């Protein structure tokens, strides 16, 4: 009886393990969508300088994870981005960039001192800035941009530039569809000695990060 019960338990545990593994793989498949995409450091978006800088505005699609820098109906720059998770979403609505800081570091812990280069703040403690980009929401509410996108946006966006954040934007169906999948989830972490050094800002000014 004990041997039969032991065999039954082992069979049950085996079935449970297979089910758990299958569930895990299914969940990972959803999260890792586009994991074969390029690192964000390889993305260099074309940009057009505005004829009227005061007419520039930013449109952000949280659903598509796309940012569009606009002048009227013209797209000056389009880039993938990463937005906040469901538990810490990027706020939606109409905002204005009211603070810019090229060489900014995270002030709070965890991660104090980590670079948040090309910071463009549109709500208290929320900003668009350089950060590792993934093809799924992964931030605490800020908007992470590829390094070259952040550098180019920072040069166009001024204090006072309007920002509209919504679940979708009309440009998602046009230029948004042409943008590549970027995935830094498999990128090796640069050493902290580099990330906390002045070199990270010097490299950012060149539109690069470490040796990627």
Query: 87: number of CA atoms within 13 Å, CB side?
Result: 1
* Separation of first and last alpha carbons in the chain: 62
What pTM was estimated for this model as a whole?
A: 0.82
> Which of 3.40.605.10, 2.40.440.10, 3.40.50.1400, 3.30.360.10 would CATH assign to domain 40-205?
2.40.440.10
CA distances from 149 to 40, 76, 94, 198 (A): 9, 12, 22, 21
pLDDT for 14: 38
Phi-psi region of 107 (alpha: psi -120 to 50; beta: other; left: phi over 0): alpha
What residues form DSSP beta bridges with 163?
Answer: 58, 95
* Helix ranges restricted to H, 32-168: 147-156
CA distances from 4 to 15, 16, 17, 90 (A): 17, 18, 20, 55
Residue-wise pLDDT tens for the chain (212 aa)?
Answer: 434 434 433 443 333 333 332 323 222 222 233 334 799 999 999 999 999 999 999 999 999 999 999 999 999 999 999 999 999 999 999 999 999 999 999 988 888 899 999 999 999 999 999 999 999 999 999 999 999 999 999 999 999 999 999 999 999 999 999 999 999 999 999 999 999 999 999 999 999 999 88
pLDDT for the residue 19: 34
């Amino acid at each position: 009886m004990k041997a039969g019960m032991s065999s039954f338990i082992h069979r049950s545990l085996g079935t449970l393990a297979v089910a758990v593994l299958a569930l895990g793989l299914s969940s990972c498949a959803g999260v890792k969508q586009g994991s074969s995409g390029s690192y964000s450091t390889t993305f260099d978006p074309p940009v057009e300088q505005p004829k009227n800088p005061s007419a520039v505005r930013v449109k952000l699609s949280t659903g598509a994870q796309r940012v569009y820098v606009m002048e009227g109906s013209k797209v000056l720059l389009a880039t993938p981005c990463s937005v906040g998770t469901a538990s810490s979403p990027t706020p939606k609505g109409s905002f204005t960039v009211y603070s810019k800081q090229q060489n900014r570091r995270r002030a709070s812990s965890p991660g104090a001192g980590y670079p948040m280069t090309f910071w463009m703040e549109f709500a208290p403690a929320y900003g668009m800035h350089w950060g590792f980009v993934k093809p799924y929401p992964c931030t605490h509410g800020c908007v992470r941009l590829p390094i070259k996108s952040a550098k180019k946006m920072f040069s166009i966006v001024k204090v006072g530039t309007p920002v509209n954040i919504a679940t979708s934007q009309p440009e998602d169906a046009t230029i948004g569809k042409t943008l590549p999948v970027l995935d830094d989830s498999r990128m090796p972490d640069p050493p902290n000695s580099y990330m906390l050094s002045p070199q990270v800002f010097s490299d950012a000014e060149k539109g690069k990060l470490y040796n990627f």
